[in-house]
Structure 1
Amino acid sequence: MTFRNDVRQGIAILADDLTSAGDGAAPFRQAGHDARILLTSTASVPRHAVGVSAVDLGSRVLDEEAAASRTWRAARLFAGSELLFKTVDSTLRGHVAAEVRAAWAGSGRRAVVIAPAFPAEGRVTVEGVQYVRGVPVHESDYARDPVHPVRCSDLATLFPEAVLGQPDRAAELPELIGNGDLIVYSAAEDGDLDRLVAAVPRLDEVLWVGSPGLAAALARRCARATGSAASLPAPARRPLIVVGSTNPATRRQLVKLRTRVDVQGVTVGVDPAPAVETLRGLTAPTLTLQTPDERHTPQTAQVLARAQAAVVQALAEDHTVDALVITGGETATTVLQPLGATGIDLLDEPEPGVVRGSLIGRLPLSVLIKAGGFGDDAMLLRLCHLMRHRLDPGEHA
């Protein structure tokens, strides 16, 4: 991946996968900023960024050294941005420590503030330890992730040099930032994150590191009184639900969705041709395409993901489907690349962990992208309803 040009304005978000890029940018879109996800494997970086540029670095699937190198180059490129935000997964999956250190070095920012809490989804930080719904993340389902298992919940272990910050000591932050510290900030509710952001006089002195919770707090501080209003997409004639994530939450959502009589689908194998033929022959207004439920080795998972992408490409190019709902960041990246997409223009964030937009490229499809572990069992039902009707966020519940 080669980065070009020198970005000197706007808000930049550096993400390790596609759903993180969307989750980071969506709150700023809601706060009145134009926002776009850049799929940097195919897109050149704009010389003068306006609004929000969320860059999908695709670094979570790389080894640690390659992930750090790519992150450093991107942070150096976007070092002049008014606000620089490095996303991390709220369950600490991926190369968290290596990427944060690389982003700090590349950005040249005075200090780092790390606040990975996402209270809306039950992910909180207590005394520097990350929890998901009351369970340390290394003891949760995310410890059994087949590709990115979480081994450590304690940010002080990941960052031994860190200074621990607390909401009741937010007034200390300017001094810590002036010292050039790496600060791990605990937060159990959105108000804690708002206090963190409010306590920092100059946002451009800090490399901000967090998940959608911190992104939303920063967006609230940077809200614009007036912003460009994006028109709602036309209702989808026939959406395709693409499920590659093996997260139990997503699989439960798919089971509930497929209880409906107007939903039909298939499970893809290593050969995509049978799935393409079957889906073309179905008559339901909503189609689903899933990988097998069982967990696989990373090698088998990659083969299945490529087969899934080939199915989506065939159905999109012959207009069997005209909209996509995709679960999982790696699934989304694998699926969108063969479609020639260079990015996504964001419309809104209909629910936590879900972004809605339109592809930039030769097939300007409407897309909804959902992080794998987010949402209750009825979430895919709601997203399908949203895609098939011209609704504002909140009207589809």
Structure 2
Amino acid sequence: MRLEPGRWLILADDLTGAADCAIAFARRGLEAMVAWHDAAGGAGARPGALAIDADSRRLPPTAAAARHATLLRPHLSGGARPALIKKIDSTLRGQPAAELAGSLALLRDAGQPRLALVAPAFPATGRTTENGCVRLWGVPLEATPLWARDHSYNSADLLAVLGSAGLKAWTLPLGQMRGGAAALAEALRAAQAGGLDAVVCDATEAADLEALARASLPLADSVLWVGSGGIAAALAAALPETPAASPALPRRHGGALVVVGSVAEASRAAAEALAATGAPRFTLPAALLRAGEAHPRWAVLRQEIAAALGAGRDTLVEIAADPAAELNRGAALAEALAMLLAPAVGGMGGLFATGGETACALLRRLGVHGIRLLDEVEPGVPLGLTLGALHLPVMTKAGAFGDGTTILRSLERLRQRTGTAS
């Protein structure tokens, strides 16, 4: 078996993560797309970078691992194989250890063993790894509101996290990460020779991930990169740039629909900033979404949202933050929100969605089976064009990424790209 030059497969546990990683390759001139896990086989010709949203973050460990193995298996046959990235949440939500363990076992069984290079750091968004532990803006992840709200493990110590799934690993501290490409490559080969399943790579700066990318790319047929948009950007930047024309975005005359389904503080702050501009704002209680069409306000809200978009006004729709709500009901609320908003598509000039479950549920409801990625409006906010019956400009953002003006800046970039800037 040989590595297929220029082809990358990214397996992600949610939509925003899939897009975060694939956009890095689009910026280097490779055709990049995101496909849903149950439609990936119908994506047609293989793009340079294919990111598959496994939609596994809320699954239990065994089911999450099985889904990732199912998605990986078809790509292991034939005379060539892609370079592999396992995209995990940079704050360790979901089941990254079980998913990785399942994928490594499948690779071994297929006669293609790989060493996992675990590098979840994304310094541009405040995520770093020090002494094998995840930190957020310099604070131990366990001491942050993100961890308090949603975590899968007892700690953010990556050796312990990997060990919980039976994986043998050691840490490459910053001193080794910064010791030069030759020494770093030798450390990776030593890990392979030592029979390890994974190495945890410390990184506090983008340069650390860039050094890892340069040292590990020659080993691409025997390693599996595990991380977030940070390592994807470093790997893509180390590749030769391929000139490619970016297709023009369609000019649509309605307002942009901004959907905030995340309870993360960064997303709520950005929503407040948009509302402060006078944009129509619709805050939907979870009880209304659970009631669905039986709720007396349902039909009225549909009409009001459609009217605002049709009048060309950027319109904010958000699920009311409810700290007492069960997180495992997020998928059901996102699906109900998609049902409410679907009739407004005719007056929509674009879509900005934050929160992977929310974005995926809405796009599915609109008949979209994937996204062709075109640009990155800022770190962690890719811009693409939907695939399927609807050709709609769409931007996605992980809930905890960005700051209070992320949505405003992203909408301005959308208007510039579509020629509708005032």
* Length-normalised TM-score, structure 1: 0.90
Identify if the C-alpha distance between structure 1 residues 322 and 27 changes in structure 2 by more than 3 Å, giving closer, same or farther: same
Identify if the C-alpha distance between structure 1 residues 223 and 166 changes in structure 2 by more than 3 Å, giving closer, same or farther: farther
C-alpha distance in 2 between matches for 1:333 and 1:11: 22
Residue 16 of structure 2 corresponds to residue 29 of structure 1: no
Match of 2:172 in 1: 165
- What amino acid maps onto 1:57 in structure 2? A
Runs of at least 4 residues of structure 1 off by over 6 A?
Answer: none
* Other structure's SS at 1:285 match: coil
Residue 91 of structure 2 corresponds to residue 94 of structure 1: no
**Where is the helix percentage greater, Structure 1 or Structure 2?**
2
Match of 2:199 in 1: 183
CA contact (8 A) 1:244 1:327 kept: yes
What does 1:83-162 align with in structure 2 at a 5 Å threshold?
83-107=83-107, 108-145=112-149, 148=151, 151-160=154-163, 161-162=168-169
Residue 14 of structure 2 corresponds to residue 17 of structure 1: yes
What does 1:55-70 align with in structure 2 at a 5 Å threshold?
55-70=52-67
C-alpha distance in 1 between matches for 2:340 and 2:350: 14
Match of 2:300 in 1: 274
CA contact (8 A) 2:252 2:348 kept: no
The Cα offsets for residues 227-285 of structure 1, whole Å up to 9 and x where unpaired, read as 34333443653110011011111001101110113x10212222343321221343561
Structure 2 residues without counterparts, runs of 5 or longer: 177-183, 293-297
CA contact (8 A) 2:254 2:347 kept: no
- What amino acid maps onto 1:52 in structure 2? A
Match of 2:318 in 1: 290
* Other structure's SS at 2:29 match: coil
Higher mean C-alpha deviation, range 281-290 or range 186-195 = 281-290
C-alpha distance in 2 between matches for 1:241 and 1:275: 15
* Other structure's SS at 1:315 match: helix
C-alpha distance in 1 between matches for 2:194 and 2:213: 18
Structure 1 residues without counterparts, runs of 5 or longer: 1-6
CA contact (8 A) 1:32 1:226 kept: yes
Q: Shift in Å at residue 132 of structure 1?
A: 0.5
Residue 334 of structure 2 corresponds to residue 305 of structure 1: yes
* Other structure's SS at 1:159 match: helix
C-alpha distance in 2 between matches for 1:12 and 1:281: 41
CA contact (8 A) 1:265 1:289 kept: yes
CA contact (8 A) 2:366 2:390 kept: yes
C-alpha distance in 2 between matches for 1:18 and 1:199: 29
Q: Shift in Å at residue 310 of structure 1?
A: 1.1
C-alpha distance in 1 between matches for 2:365 and 2:40: 13
C-alpha distance in 2 between matches for 1:88 and 1:232: 30
The Cα offsets for residues 89-123 of structure 1, whole Å up to 9 and x where unpaired, read as 11111101101111212233331111111011110
Count of residues in correspondence between the two structures: 383
Match of 1:4 in 2: none
Identify if the C-alpha distance between structure 1 residues 100 and 299 changes in structure 2 by more than 3 Å, giving closer, same or farther: closer
Match for residue 231 of structure 1 among 236, 245, 248 = 248
Identify if the C-alpha distance between structure 1 residues 301 and 83 changes in structure 2 by more than 3 Å, giving closer, same or farther: closer
Match of 1:340 in 2: 367
CA contact (8 A) 1:11 1:51 kept: yes
Percent sequence identity over aligned pairs: 34
- What amino acid maps onto 2:299 in structure 1? A
* Length-normalised TM-score, structure 2: 0.85
Identify if the C-alpha distance between structure 1 residues 197 and 389 changes in structure 2 by more than 3 Å, giving closer, same or farther: closer
Residue 67 of structure 2 corresponds to residue 40 of structure 1: no
* Other structure's SS at 2:97 match: helix
C-alpha distance in 1 between matches for 2:24 and 2:418: 19
